[in-house]
Structure 1
Amino acid sequence: MSTPPLHPDLVALGDLVGEWAGEGKGDYPTIDAFAYGERTSFWHVGKPFVFYMQRTWSVENEEPLHSEMGYLRPAGPNGVELVASHPFGVVEISEGSIVDGTIELRSKSLTPTSTSDPIDEVVRILRVDGDELTYYFEMATGGQPLQLHLKAALRRLESPG
């Protein structure tokens, strides 16, 4: 099956489409610092949303660390929404903007399951520059204030199609 044309509402998100891989670093006051490998995919089906799937693993022992799946949706000319599910039992809805190739998202709702630990706030900043995707992920949880938790640099493995 061939990839349909990019929906006109996705022009601002089009640079994300493709396969990405690289490494990142994580830290938080409640855990030891760590390095991780990552593979993330963004794809579309010609409709006004972008699917994404992320998975990470320890660079030390290749054990799986985190994964998430979701959708990015355009919200007006410079707006963007994220709907994401996390395997630790939280559904995230974040909203933000796309300005000069930088996507900034702030959580609007972080809904935990009845057995999950709550997360108070997250902020994501993503930037595509050619074939490099960099991001920063800030988090507030467990009585800790909003602060940097993850940062990574990924390289494009496949061109958008």
Structure 2
Amino acid sequence: MSANKPDENPLQPPWLNAPPVEEYPFEESHDLRVGPKLHPALDGLLPYVGVWRGRGRGGFPTIEDFDFAQEIRISHDGRPFLLYESRAWILDEQSRPVRPAGREVGWWRPVLSGDRATDELEALMMSPTGIMELYIGKRSGTQIEFATDAVVRTSTAKEVTAGARLFGIVEGALLYAQEMAGMGQPLSPHLSARLIRVAG
């Protein structure tokens, strides 16, 4: 048995004092022309991959209606799921930016039967306001319909109890409508938007 060097502690893991690593070595892409090959299970979701920007309208029974702009990035890294990232900002009557609005990050993944994707989907969506939603959905052509299976909130988050989302690719644009239940209100329209592909 060899003796330990003076500066080594056998009880410490080897990574504890290791130097920093290089940047993330695996590609993620929202452009199907470059980067890793799209996983075959995602073929039905291929039209959604890209960077989308557009405008929408929001509201809820407990708040005033508002106009917003939004960017959605949908990318992949070669594995059988999509990364969904969204950031929005409020617009005034002249379509000028007023302030940042909702942000979300999530993952969409097809339900597999053996090695093949079915039309059923699972999605996990999270916001920095302390809300995490688990959606179960189904794809029909270029349309996806999601409904919440569970909503988890932190103690400081607003009360959200259920949600539904409808996505579709219509004449090359990404359209969606989102409903929400919470704050004593039943499932009600909350957000809708039309976004144009700007990359990917």
Confirm or deny a common fold (TM above 0.5).
Answer: yes
Larger Rg: 2
Q: Does 1:94 align with 2:135?
A: yes
Q: How well do the aligned residues superpose, as a CA RMSD in angstroms?
A: 1.1
2:57 is matched with 25
Q: Where does 1:28-67 land on structure 2 (aligned, <5 Å)?
A: 28-60=60-92, 61-67=97-103
Distance 2:165 2:45 in 1: 15
Report the Cα distance in structure 1 between the residues aligned to 2:196 and 2:110, rounded to whole angstroms. 24
Q: What is the Cα deviation at residue 62 of structure 1?
A: 2.9
Counterparts of 1:11-160 in structure 2, within 5 Å, are 11-60=43-92, 61-76=97-112, 77-159=118-200
Deviations 1:63-114 (A, max 9, x none): 0010000100001410111111111101111011001211000001110012
The letter for the 1-side match of 2:57 is K
Q: Deviations over 1:100-152 (max 9, x none)?
A: 21100000111001221221110000001353000000011111111111110
Say which SS state the counterpart of residue 14 (structure 1) adopts: helix
Q: Greater RCO between the two (CA within 8 Å, min separation 6)?
A: 1
Q: Which has the larger strand fraction?
A: 1
Preserved CA contact (<8 Å) 2:86 2:104: yes
Q: TM-score, normalised by structure 2?
A: 0.77
CA distance in 1, matches of 2:146, 2:61: 23
Q: Deviations over 1:20-61 (max 9, x none)?
A: 000000111100100000001000000000001100001114
Segments of structure 2 that go 5 or more residues without pairing to the other structure are: 1-26, 28-33, 113-117
| Range that drifts further, 43-52 or 58-67 | 58-67
In percent, how many aligned pairs have the same letter?
33
Taking structure 1 as the reference length, the TM-score comes to 0.95
Q: Is the contact between residue 44 and residue 141 of structure 2 (CA under 8 Å) also seen in structure 1?
A: no
Is contact 1:23–1:38 with CA below 8 Å preserved after alignment? Answer: yes
